[in-house]
Structure 1
Amino acid sequence: MDNNIDNNLNRDEQNKINLDSSKKMEQKSNLKCLKNKKTKDLIALTIIVSVLFGGLFGFIGGQVANQELLKSIKNKDIISGDEQSGAEEGSKKAPNEEASLADLKTEESAVMKVVEQSSHSVVSIIVTKDVPKLNSFFEEQFFSDPFFNPFGMPDSRQKESNEPNIEKKEIGGGTGFLVSEDGYIMTNRHVVKDSQAEYTVVMNNGDKIKADVIARDTLMDLAVLKINTDKKLVAVKLGDSDKIRVGQTVVAIGNSLGEFRNTVSKGIISGLKRDVKAGDRLTGQTEALDGVIQTDAAINLGNSGGPLFDLDGNVIGMNVAMAYGAENVGFAIPIKDAISVYQSVKEHGRIVRPFLGVRYIILNEAIAKTNNLPVDYGVLILGGGSRGELAVIPGSPANKAGLVENDIILEFDKVKLTDENNLSKLIQKKNVGDEVELKILSKGEEKKVKVTLEENKEVASE
């Protein structure tokens, strides 16, 4: 029994110890939880404060950054993505850009070389003429007009003075270029058209030399002059106008506007084989220019007759006309046509041209349909409206070959005649004495005849 009491006492004590131990553990656990709660609260508070201050400072920083960005935009251009990447790459240029710059520099150097080597062969042509003095003209009108001089008062001033009533004045100008070392110069006919005027050539170094007009071409706007001097002359280099291409760079040198000697303009060939009508705004006269070169290089009244160079320094054309009312539209005669005239003058002392001796109209589909003709190409031999405008010139090569009015020439030396292959152009490519074959449609039958071209003495030159 005592043992049972002791055991019970021990059990009670043990339970008490366990209870105390449990309370202590619970207190520790509560304390730990309290500490954890305080830590969590502190962390939450820290996060809230950080967010608040972060937002505040972020807002302030954003405003400052925006202000700086606005200032930057105001002071600088906006850079595109391509430019930005280019800026990041530094000063490197794309290969294509470097090639383009190199091409430009090469072209620029070529133009300067052409000017340097060729300017001494380009001349200014000054046109002078004896004209009445302005004051003498009005005095004559006054004293000879009975309205102003009803009493017939004598012109005492004119009697007292022995001075002539005329004076030599400069009335025009243009450009030319030396085609030989012995002084032959080529220019436009309209530059030297006045047979009563005097012509002076001004060299690149300023020397003035009297010039004689050797020939004026009545078919093309060409003329040949001659100067005599002891000084050495240098001729231009002649190119081949048959080999030029559209888009090719060209250089025009001339007496721009009749005032500025050897002015240079650059352009490209805009077109080939143009047929245009050139007119004189003062006289109203017009003429046809066939097969000319179109260029956007500046052509004006002053540099008419001047050379058109390629970048190798070869003359490939002669400046002849500009289109009024249009910018950058000028025309030049192919040098091949111009040189044939010079060579004729050099050999014969005049312009010698072959001719066939027929008057004609060029056929096309519309003309053929209207006149019920069997073909829509070739040329129809036809007289003019007046008696003097004969279809076939008596004694001409065509007359000798038996051609008559209403015959149709279909081919010239096996070349089909069309608007582009004009009979006149084909004849001018031949020489006097050349024998050519014509394909003729006469009274419904085709036949071939041989014709020997002769010199056109009436209209070749003045």
Structure 2
Amino acid sequence: MADTNDNLKPASEAPSAPTRPVAATPKKAPVTKKVSFEVPVPTMPAGPSPATRSKLLNGALALLVVFGVGFGGGWLGAASHNDDGSTSVSTQKTVLTSQGNLISSIAKDVGPSVVSVDVTTQTAGSQNPFYNLYGGGSGSQTQQGAGTGMILSSDGLILTNRHVVPSGTTSVSVTLSDGTVYKDVKVIGRTNDSDSLDVAFLKIQDLKGKTLTPIKVGDSSKVAVGESVIAIGNALGQFQNTVTSGIISGYGRSVTAGDENGSSTENLDNLFQTDAAINPGNSGGPLVNLNGEVIGMNTAVAGEGAQNIGFAIPINDITGLITSVKDTGKLQRPYLGVVYVPLTDDLAKQYNLSVTRGAYIPSSSDLGQTTIIDGGPAQKAGLQEGDVITKVDGTEINETTSLTSLLGKHKVGDTVTLTIVRDGKTITKDVTLGAAPTSN
């Protein structure tokens, strides 16, 4: 039998945009990235990833293909059926035309809530795994990158990916859809570089009397495979508010992502997969439904011959942080302190587990790293290697609802009740969530 470690891939637990250049500026490297754990915990190496990088999918960990309802957008209209059972072609054309008009209308409505993000980063070429992609060498170097962001509040709070504003960022500016440019934008906080939730928050310091239009936040738990979606972003760091459309191709995806030369990899889990084109520079931009609500943040794109495979972080994995940042003005990531593996039928069978869904905490020896962080909330509450967390406050963990997303709804200091299967028996543990390390 194969080594049991072969299929064991961590989905770490607590701790994973630019403004449109006035003129097309190829020197600004667009960003599209990948990352995803659960609570902040140092797991896979994840070096600073400049917004200039275009993260490409290297390989899948455990792609969970979940087929649900059919193509969503059928509500726009239905082809009429004649008495003889034939379908009216003219009605079909009307449906397609209506959908095209709807996409155009949504893009117009959402566009003002999407910004381009330009970033200048000071890096040491020899220490930056992505710098060599752009002709860098050793020593301190200045780079420019571009990505996308979403406006969260009328007073200038913006959501983007962490890799859009990497460690070493020295200046950030954003450009609104109407061309207004704001410089000296503050980085409120970034999740830790080892955190799989690839998130950062920005704040425009002086709006100069302007009131911004916040994006509408949807509920990603209601998204179904086949549902129509629209991606908006700063494609290639040059084409602001580029609009593409497609469908949700899958959800609950777990992948390993890295830079183009494979010098750095990161784990992502619980991602939406979409065939809406996500280009370098789209990182941090919204994936919206046909109600014009953001249901995901575009983060990664598959490369090397793959077509129409992009990934987005479900917005429900981020909403808890959004609330926390709005309330406190700083980023505090709730932290459980475990590294876990999302269970599948195959993994459950391989490890002789009595349940097939949940967050499995493998032994440190199996995974080759600490899986219960010393002194962390999980250890203090008595969690053990081999435990399977099946519920958080009564809500089941499954393909569409990850441990990350459930904990993400809480704040630092909240107490949650975990349902755990240990040695075939079900127990509960109350855990007070701590604050995950963040990168400033």
TM-score, reference length from structure 2? 0.65
Which residue type is aligned with residue 326 of structure 2?
A: K
Give 1:36-47 correspondences, 5 Å limit. none
- When residues 128 and 382 of structure 1 are mapped into structure 2, their CA distance, relative to the original with a 3 A threshold, is same
Aligned residue in 2 for 1:214: 188
Structure 2: how far apart are the matches of 1:456 and 1:213?
Answer: 19
- When residues 185 and 381 of structure 1 are mapped into structure 2, their CA distance, relative to the original with a 3 A threshold, is same
Gaps of 5+ in 2: 1-85, 125-139
Aligned residue in 2 for 1:10: none
Structure 2: how far apart are the matches of 1:426 and 1:348?
Answer: 21
Give 1:234-383 correspondences, 5 Å limit. 234-281=213-260, 284-324=263-303, 325-359=305-339, 375=354, 379-380=360-361, 382-383=363-364
Alignment match of 1:439 (pick from 415, 420, 423): 420
Asked if structure 1 preserves the Cα contact closer than 8 Å seen for 2:338 and 2:373, the reply is yes
Q: Deviations over 1:147-192 (max 9, x none)?
A: xxxxxxxxxxxxxxxxxxx99x762101112111010111111111
Which residue type is aligned with residue 154 of structure 2?
A: E
Q: How many residues align?
A: 329
Structure 2: how far apart are the matches of 1:318 and 1:381?
Answer: 29
Asked if structure 1 preserves the Cα contact closer than 8 Å seen for 2:162 and 2:199, the reply is yes
TM-score, reference length from structure 1? 0.62
Structure 2: how far apart are the matches of 1:434 and 1:418?
Answer: 21
Of stretches 176-185 and 330-339 in structure 1, the one that deviates more from structure 2 is 330-339
Give 1:109-124 correspondences, 5 Å limit. 109-124=101-116
Structure 2: how far apart are the matches of 1:320 and 1:336?
Answer: 15
Q: Which has the larger radius of gyration?
A: 1
- When residues 423 and 181 of structure 1 are mapped into structure 2, their CA distance, relative to the original with a 3 A threshold, is closer
Is residue 195 from structure 1 mapped to residue 153 from structure 2 by the alignment?
no
Give 1:4-83 correspondences, 5 Å limit. none
Structure 2: how far apart are the matches of 1:286 and 1:183?
Answer: 32
Structure with the bigger RCO (C-alpha within 8 Å, sep 6+) is 2
Q: Deviations over 1:327-371 (max 9, x none)?
A: 111111112223322222222333333333345566777777777
Asked if structure 2 preserves the Cα contact closer than 8 Å seen for 1:409 and 1:439, the reply is yes
| Paired residue secondary structure (1:340) | helix
Which residue type is aligned with residue 434 of structure 1?
A: T
Structure 1: how far apart are the matches of 2:339 and 2:223?
Answer: 33
Which residue type is aligned with residue 215 of structure 1?
A: G
Asked if structure 1 preserves the Cα contact closer than 8 Å seen for 2:418 and 2:429, the reply is yes
Gaps of 5+ in 1: 1-93, 133-165
| Paired residue secondary structure (1:274) | strand
- When residues 359 and 263 of structure 1 are mapped into structure 2, their CA distance, relative to the original with a 3 A threshold, is closer
Give 1:108-187 correspondences, 5 Å limit. 108-129=100-121, 171-187=144-160
